[in-house]
Structure 1
């Protein structure tokens, strides 16, 4: 890293930080540090699912399908992304969950980047959970 430029590989870098490439959680001084937004490169095997619903999030989110077939569940509604470039945006306070109907790659952008909100591996191995 020099001259405030970082060159990487989303697939390799994502594996180092639960998929997250950019956000407040990167070291200050790293060009990937941002308090404005977070970016995640999510690689999900077939039938991967969020272990529990994300509730009461204060951020807005955009999820774009890169490959595969990916379902987002919202209260009273499900959205299936099945063509490259399909996307969904949801606002603050919208509870959600997700399920990879096929092996999928998704790009997620959330804003703002909120310190104190973390996702950890579910102890029974069913994806992620909010802590």
Structure 2
């Protein structure tokens, strides 16, 4: 069973999937930093210094905190600001992936548009062509 598992784990598809997951996690971290450290502060500055991550609606009367972390300690809250930030993350990731796939498709179309070399004639066709040419003389 161990040998069978090793054969399964070393197949190309499994290794490719593992590499994709690792790269995806790193890409996700980059996008999270882009949104959290660059985009959201700009949006916050444009909206008068608002921080979306602290937008929430308390679901109980016991919540009186002014920031999300303290509000979660006091009771249930609906953290729609965090959801908004994650939605912006998703939109950016989807857009970047769209651009990457679009670029790949463009390159693929250019490769397909190149004229293919005509196939080389078989040995029989070459021989028959030589015989034809000799007979013409």
Which structure's residues are more often helix, by fraction?
A: 2
Larger Rg: 2
TM-score (ref. length: structure 2): 0.20
TM-score (ref. length: structure 1): 0.21
Higher relative contact order (CA 8 A, sep 6+): 1
